[in-house]
Structure 1
Amino acid sequence: MTAHTPAPDHGHSAPDNFAIVAVASSAGGIHGLSVLLETLGDGLSVPLLIVQHLDPRHGTVIADVLARRTPLRTKLAQDGEQARPGVVYIAPPNHHLLVDADGVLTLSSSELVHFVRPSADLLFESLAGAYGPRAIACVLTGSGFDGAMGVDAVKSRGGTVIAEDPRTAEFRGMPEAAVETGAVDFVLPLEEIAAVIRGLVETKRQ
């Protein structure tokens, strides 16, 4: 397993446990997310939020596709709903997904960010502001650099950042941009990411 030495938490006190996980992907992401969810298994103790860049014409398909790969409940996020543990929430095409400190999800059709909507940067930045050191952000395969500013925000608030190893990712742009920020704690092959997420959320920190 390849891992970066965890960065200091910039003065934040360590929380008892993590409260939420957000994952971003683009090109190659359906396969990447399928592998992640399949290896993650059942009974996740936190909500999992996903931003996957999609053609709006295929908006109703992704939740069904991913639901076949995981025992976790998988659905398109709805504006104003409460994020629940063990549920996978996917940003609908053409909508940014954000979360607040109470776990309430917001969908926005505001302007594209770096030419994309939904934006991983916006999701991660909302995660950082709402959850600070209790947040986990993960960047999988994808072209472009969406998510890089967001992981920097998560790390600056004391959160933990995971990236798929760009050397083995189907598309290396997004994970490579994340790694280049210096904010990534773990750089891992796709097949090893779920075990690390499980280990983090199930281990109470002192």
Structure 2
Amino acid sequence: MSAALAGASALPGAAPRREPFRAVAIGTSAGGIDALAALLPCLPTGATLSVFIVVHLPPSVPSLLCDIFRPKCALRVMEAEDKCPVEPGTLYFAPPNYHLLIDPGPQLALSIDPAVHFSRPAIDVLFESAADIYRQYLLGIVLTGASEDGARGLLAVHRAGGAVVVQSPDTAMAPAMPLHAIRRCPEAAVLTLNDIGKLLQEAARGSAG
């Protein structure tokens, strides 16, 4: 394991492991586009991470997230589709009005189950399902947002042995979501966007070998 990855795996909430991260789950809401624009370009060509992202979106408006982020990202950017196998080196956005889950395989699953914290897609749903599949090989990140979605899911990632990170509330456009996540999962590392970007770079280098 590289020195860079060793530093990443030493984060609070991360269980000791011999292998690098395999997946990253990110949740955000208000202010999330700007936060993601600062983070996602940190993932370099050659990274084999699978990245799953929930952004709270209006249910009846087509998502423009893939159009926004494809030009910014070295990884392949896709809107998640039901029953598609998870591919390494790919970044998946949850589509509007569907929960995004990770099923055994691993493969993507979309659900129209009721909204969680008034949101579909919900961050909790993604994090809990990804924790079941990836366990200690998952990095969960809660960014800026104005609800408590993501707090319960981040705790599930921690309990499964994954690494857990929260954007510093002082740097978040909407601090409520990070604050709820910290209260629910005090083991999480609280980092600025700049430091989260460095962590993603370390995790990506480890995933690339």
How many equivalent pairs are there?
198
- Note if 1:140 corresponds to 2:146: no
Q: Gaps spanning 5+ residues in structure 2: where?
A: 1-9
* TM alignment of 1:36-115, pairs within 5 A: 36-115=39-118
How many angstroms apart in 2 are the aligned matches of 1:145 and 1:179?
10
- Note if 1:122 corresponds to 2:125: yes
Higher helix share: 2
Deviation at 1:94, TM superposition (A): 0.4
Q: Percent identity?
A: 37
Deviation at 1:127, TM superposition (A): 1.0
Match of 2:7 in 1: none
Alpha carbons of structure 1 residues 131 and 181: separation in structure 2 relative to 1, 3 Å: same
Whether contact under 8 Å (1:80, 1:104) holds in the other structure is yes
How many angstroms apart in 1 are the aligned matches of 2:14 and 2:80?
33
Match of 1:180 in 2: 183
Deviation at 1:41, TM superposition (A): 3.1
Whether contact under 8 Å (1:96, 1:118) holds in the other structure is yes
TM-score (norm 1): 0.89
- Note if 1:19 corresponds to 2:52: no
Amino acid at match of 1:186: A
SS at match of 2:72: coil
Whether contact under 8 Å (2:14, 2:162) holds in the other structure is no
Match of 1:198 in 2: 201
Deviation at 1:84, TM superposition (A): 1.1
Deviation at 1:182, TM superposition (A): 3.1
- Note if 1:164 corresponds to 2:170: no
Deviation at 1:72, TM superposition (A): 1.6
How many angstroms apart in 2 are the aligned matches of 1:52 and 1:148?
15
How many angstroms apart in 2 are the aligned matches of 1:145 and 1:125?
15
Alpha carbons of structure 1 residues 96 and 155: separation in structure 2 relative to 1, 3 Å: same
Amino acid at match of 1:6: P
Deviation at 1:82, TM superposition (A): 1.1
Amino acid at match of 2:191: L
Deviation at 1:15, TM superposition (A): 4.6
How many angstroms apart in 2 are the aligned matches of 1:20 and 1:8?
13
Amino acid at match of 2:114: E
How many angstroms apart in 2 are the aligned matches of 1:55 and 1:17?
35
Whether contact under 8 Å (1:161, 1:183) holds in the other structure is no
SS at match of 1:127: helix
Pairwise CA RMSD: 1.9
TM-score (norm 2): 0.87
